[in-house]
Chain A
Amino acid sequence: SYELTQPPSVSVSPGQTASITCSGDKLGDKYVCWYQQKPGQSPVLVIYQDTMRPSGIPERFSGSNSGNTATLTIRGTQAMDEADYYCQAWDSSTAIFGGGTKLTVL
C-alpha cells in the first residue's frame, strides 16, 4: 500500500523559514494537500493541489511537489504557526495521510 513519510518534528526560530517534507513513491505524479492542526482543534486546509492556498490562508504558506517529495514552506514563521502538519495524497481512490510533523517555533 502507498505510504507518505514525514519527519516527526521540525523546529524553527520566529521569523525564519520552515520546510516540512512529505515523501512517497512518484509523489510528484499526484496532487498533495497540507493540513494544519493545532492542539484540541480540527485540521485546517492550508495548501491543496500542491501549490494552491485556500482563501484566508496567509501568503507565507506555500507548497511544492516534484519527484518523490512534496514540501510545505512557511516563510517568516510566527508563533501561531506552531502546530501539527499533515500531507495527504490520493492513491487508487484511497486518501493517504502522512504521519504528521510537529512544528515547533522557538
Chain B
Amino acid sequence: QVQLVESGGGVVQPGRSLRLSCAASGFSFSNSGMHWVRQAPGKGLEWVAVMSYDGRNKYYVDSVKGRVTISRDNSRNRVYLQMNSLRGEDTAVYYCVKDDEVKLRRGYYYYMDVWGKGTTVTVSS
C-alpha cells in the first residue's frame, strides 16, 4: 500500500534552517508529483509546494518563495523540503502528499490523494 513517511522536523530557532524528508513506497514514485502541505497548530491546511514527477516543474506558495526549496531523488524514492530563514509562522505539522492525475481532453487534472502522517516543525527561540 502507499506509504509516505516524513522526518526531519524538530525545534529550531528563528532564522535557522531545516530539511524535511519524505520516504515514499508502494507506488511508482518516479511517475508521481509530490507536494508539501502544512498545518499550523489549531489552524487549517496550507499548501506549501509541489514538484512534478521528473523534477522539471516546481511551484510554491507566495509566503515561502525564496526561503523554501522542494527537491526529489527518484533513485531513492524521496522528496525533500529545504526551509531557510525560518520564522515563527512556519511552525506547523508538515505533510508529504502524493499526486494523482486525471487525463482530460486537453491536459491533465492533478489532485492530492494520499497524505503522510506529518512531521512537526517548531520555530522558537
Contacts and interface: CB of A to CB of B under 8 A. Distances in A.
B4 to A, nearest CB: 9
B2 to A, nearest CB: 12
A43 B117 contact: no
B27 interface: no
Nearest to A41: B117
A33 B45 contact: no
A61 interface: no
Interface of B: 35, 37, 44-47, 50, 59, 61-62, 95, 100, 102, 109-118
Nearest to B96: A42
A100 B109 CA distance: 23
11 contacts: A33-B112, A42-B95, A42-B117, A42-B118, A45-B111, A45-B114, A84-B44, A88-B112, A93-B59, A94-B61, A95-B37
B45 A86 contact: yes
B41 to A, nearest CB: 12
Interface of A: 1, 31, 33, 35, 37, 42-45, 48-49, 52, 54, 84, 86, 88, 90, 93-100
Contacts of A93: 59
Contacts, number: 56
B113 A97 contact: no
A100 B47 contact: no
Contacts of A95: 35, 37, 47, 50, 112
Binding site secondary structure of chain B: strand
A97 B112 contact: no
Contacts of A1: 62
Given A42-B95, A49-B102, A100-B45, A94 B59 contact: yes
Nearest to A47: B111
B113 A45 contact: yes
A37 B37 CA distance: 14
A84 B59 CA distance: 26
Contact of B109 (A31, A42, A54, A97): A31
